[in-house]
Amino acid sequence: MLKTTLLLGGLTLLLVTGGAVLGGEQGMIFAFIFAVVLNFGSYFYSDKIVLKMYKAREVSEREEPRLVQTVRELARRANMPMPKVYLIPSNQPNAFATGRNPEHSAVAVTEGIKGLLNEEELAGVLAHELAHVQNRDILIGTIAATVAGAISMLANMAQWALIFGGGRGGDRGGHPAVMIVMMIVAPIAAMLIQMAISRTREYQADASAAALIGSGIPLANALKKLESGASKTPMDAEPATAHMFIVSPLTGNKSEGLNIRNLFSTHPPIAKRVAALLGER
């Protein structure tokens, strides 16, 4: 939570600094308000949009007793309302949670996950997804996306201002040379911070899941199986929603160590998540 707070603070500082250089006070306010409006709809309706995008179907306890009963028991332990449970018609083993708060939440798993994990491993995965809801990660992600989006919009505004003779100082922005540097650096920095926040929330959800079920071993074992399964079985996933899944549906997220690719990844390397769950980090 401290790391998330610091990252959000850094993102806000970047917005203020970038706003002063790229668009002045008025430009910064305009970009921020516009980004808030865009992400407001995403925050309240993203659950319906993403579930429809992946053709997820709500299932009952009669249809999927093992799945629904596990979610119900975990929700009871976490002292949160029972979320809706959905099934995604995909062979790739994966799962995600959505919803703006515990009262409006849903957990979705793919067909491929059901036959791959045992009961303890499935409970670990579902506990991870419930943790995202309980930890308000949808809200945190929306805040990060709003500020990062505002920074990107400021960079675009500065580009047009330079083309049409703007950026001459004053309230409209800073020196043209400084604006050009900020146009390149600010959006990249904002994206890096946003990705770092996403990775931090994954670690937090893993830790919360381990606390809920009493051990990190089941989730650690599940993550290793899911990584292998995701790398072998492709999924028609949208990059914009890849961060929602417990493992990246695009690459399997096999990369280890600190490199450029990891900095732009929404998920930490599975090996590091497993090590943290097993107390080896």
pLDDT reading at 167 higher than 80 = no
> What pLDDT, in 10s, does the model give residues 177-234?
777 777 788 788 888 888 888 899 999 999 999 999 999 999 999 999 999 999 898 8
Domain with 95, as residue range(s), is 2-277
- Residues facing 87 on adjacent strands: 57, 109
Catalytic annotation present for 103: no
- Rounded Cα gap, residues 46 and 39, in angstroms: 9
Of the candidates 25, 121, 129, 238, the residue annotated as catalytic is 129
Amino acid at 40: F
Residue 95 sits at φ, ψ, to 5 deg, of -160, 155
Distance of CA 50 to the CA centre of its chain: 13
- Hey, what are 176's tokens? 């043209």
Would you state the pLDDT for residue 217?
Answer: 97
Q: Determine the Cα–Cα distance for residues 198 and 140; give it in Å rounded to an integer.
A: 9
- If one counts the domains in the chain, the total is 1
CB 51 within 8 A of CB 110: no
67 contacts: CB under 8 Å, gap ≥ 6: 59, 85, 87, 109, 114, 122
- Give the Cα-Cα-Cα angle 136, 246, 116 (nearest 5 degrees): 140
User: 21: pLDDT confidence band, cut at 50, 70 and 90?
Assistant: low
C-alpha span between 230 and 248 (Å, rounded): 8
Return mean pLDDT, the chain.
82
Task: Give the pTM.
Answer: 0.79
Provide the pLDDT for residue 240. Answer: 75
How much is the pLDDT for 169? 47
Strands, E, within the chain: which ranges?
57-58, 84-88, 95-101, 104-110
SS3 98: strand
CB 147 within 8 A of CB 94: no
pLDDT digits (tens, 9 = 90+) for 96-141: 998 878 898 999 999 999 889 999 999 999 999 999 999 988 878 7
What is the distance between the alpha carbons of residues 17 and 185, in angstroms, rounded to a whole number? Answer: 12
256 or 134: whose pLDDT is higher? Answer: 134
**Tens-place pLDDT, residues 188-203:** 888 888 888 889 999 9
- The whole-number average pLDDT for the span 32-50 is 71
What SS3 state is found at 238? coil
